[in-house]
Structure 1
Amino acid sequence: MHSLWSLQHPTDPAMTCNIHRRVTGGDLNEAAALLAQLASGDDTLWPTWRWPALILDNGLEVDSLGGHGSVRYRVADVESHRVRFVFTSAGPFEGEHTFLIAQAEPGYVEWMHHLDITSSLPPRVMDLVVRLHDGLLEDLFDNAQARMAGRDVRPRPFTPGYSVLQRAYRLLERER
């Protein structure tokens, strides 16, 4: 995988491990409240201004089904500082992804997203999928950072090449 956040999976060479981290100001309880809003009507964490909404049939509850766009998964675990999703058979992906938050030091929270994934897609297509995932996660962490600081989100610009990739993705999602 050609991604700043991807590396060879530690136990399964067929899988990709993709890890995003961000440290924000604020306390862990405030971060937990933001994380708990995922896929709800009050969700201010998911970057819907640029990506398909995260929709779960029963909200952020274990066994709730849904996803964002054509990416489908099931909620496997929900704790105050951790949410884990498992990809379902309704798509070309296998594996799981997890959001974690932890106290970095007093007054700071570490946000982490860990993706373990393999796919039946051709490797070049999968590289593009992972690059799109990277953009979504960085937008989500921009939201987390802004919300934890009590300010509005200022979307960062995409590079011209990434803009084309993201627009193509949105067009494909609309056709589905």
Structure 2
Amino acid sequence: MGVHNVHERLLAAKESEVGALVDSLSAGAADRLWPHPAWPPMEFDRPLAVGAKGGHGPVRYTVTSYVPGTWIRFAFSGPRGFRGFHEFTVLPVDEERTVLRHTLAMNPRGPARLSWPLAFRRLHDACVEDGLDRAELACTGTVARPARWTAYVRLLRAVARKLH
């Protein structure tokens, strides 16, 4: 069972503006892409660069490729059974519009064959859409169609809070 999950948003912004959002990942208060504080913070053991290790919540990864302002790929190291990567890509459409794409590709093994479809997929989708909302807000000052959490996502988050 392979997973290929793609989210993208067309932003009324120059490629350099959208690229700067990707470059701001895990930069604390300067991070304008990661949807904090609604989600566990994205943190790394060093500044964003190839080899940086970190993650968010139980999801762990290492930066395996990074072209500043253009593309960053993270290889999963956890949770158990997550084998693959996720990445952000900046795709210019023209001088004033850019697509920000998030792609997750993995082959879940062992416990991830259940945890991905039952919990992580829905949480992932909600988190990424919240991040794309932040990107749109940073680029345009507004969000045309804000993401909404489903009742199931709210339930999963409530259970996760009780477990931690």
TM-score normalized with structure 2 length:
0.88
Residue matched to 1:131: 122
Residue matched to 1:160: 151
Instruction: Give 1:40 deviation, angstroms.
Output: 0.9
Identity of aligned residues (%): 31
Moved more, 163-172 or 14-23: 163-172
Question: Is 1:121 paired with 2:121?
Answer: no
**3-state SS of 2:107 partner:** strand
Instruction: Give 1:151 deviation, angstroms.
Output: 4.6
Residue matched to 2:97: 108
Question: Is 1:96 paired with 2:82?
Answer: no
Instruction: Give 1:156 deviation, angstroms.
Output: 4.3
1:32-87 residue CA offsets vs partner (Å, 9 max, x unmatched): 11110001121121001211000011121110101001111000011120000001
Q: Distance in 2 between matches of 1:47 and 1:121?
A: 27
Runs of 5+ unmatched residues, structure 1: 1-13
Written as runs of structure 1 = structure 2, the 5 A alignment for 1:20-99 is: 20-41=7-28, 42-79=30-67, 80-88=69-77, 91-99=80-88
Question: Is 1:140 paired with 2:128?
Answer: no
Q: Distance in 1 between matches of 2:149 and 2:111?
A: 25
Change in Cα spacing, 1:150 to 1:61, as seen in structure 2 (3 Å) is same
Change in Cα spacing, 1:154 to 1:103, as seen in structure 2 (3 Å) is closer
Q: Distance in 1 between matches of 2:146 and 2:159?
A: 19
1:117-154 residue CA offsets vs partner (Å, 9 max, x unmatched): 12222544321211110000000000001101135899
Structural RMSD (CA): 2.1
Q: Is the 8 A contact 2:59 2:78 kept in 1?
A: no
